[in-house]
């Protein structure tokens, strides 16, 4: 294998359902899932909230996606260590916004998307700097 490609948009909390009681702890949690439509069905519980009901980050414009720049840094660090510093390409990354945004998109004023990319690129830069110290 020559390189690893990463698509990263968001981060969620994950709980192991094989060794833990997996129930959605918060009634109005749209991101709590038992793996529906995924290969993880019955094995993992994913949620945007921790056990205390705190959200992992700010919601994007799409349900179930959160802004979590630290997640980018964590996945890059994990892949670098796990695969002995194999070259990594971030092949996809982006901010999920509501398709019904009034007036279309004015890229100069798309503040949430700008903040998202600034934070994710800073996280990626930290990961690169840290690994090569």
Q: What's the per-residue H, E or C state across 77-110?
A: HHHHHHCCCCCEEEEECCCCCCCCCCCCCCHHHC
Q: What is the DSSP letter of 63?
A: T
Report how far residue 92's alpha carbon sits from residue 44's, in angstroms, rounded to the nearest whole number.
24
Residue 85 φ/ψ region, left for φ over 0, alpha for ψ in the -120 to 50 degree band, beta for the rest? left
Based on its alpha-carbon atoms, the radius of gyration of the chain, rounded to whole angstroms, reads 17
| List 27, 36, 73, 92, catalytic entry | 92
Q: What DSSP element (H or E) covers 14?
A: strand 13-16
* 92 given a catalytic annotation: yes
Catalytic site residues?
92
């Amino acid at each position: 294998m020559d390189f690893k490609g990463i698509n990263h948009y968001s981060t969620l909390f994950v709980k192991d359902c094989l060794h833990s009681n997996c129930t959605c702890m918060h009634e109005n949690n749209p991101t709590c899932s038992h793996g529906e439509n995924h290969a993880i069905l019955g094995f993992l519980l994913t949620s945007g909230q921790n056990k205390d009901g705190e959200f992992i980050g700010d919601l994007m414009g799409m349900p179930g996606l959160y802004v979590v720049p630290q997640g980018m840094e964590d996945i890059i660090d994990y892949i670098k260590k796990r695969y002995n510093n194999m070259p990594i390409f971030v092949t996809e990354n982006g901010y999920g916004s509501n398709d019904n945004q009034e007036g279309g998109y004015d890229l100069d004023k798309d503040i949430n998307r700008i903040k998202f990319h600034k934070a994710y690129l800073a996280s990626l830069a930290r990961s690169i700097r840290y690994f090569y110290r």
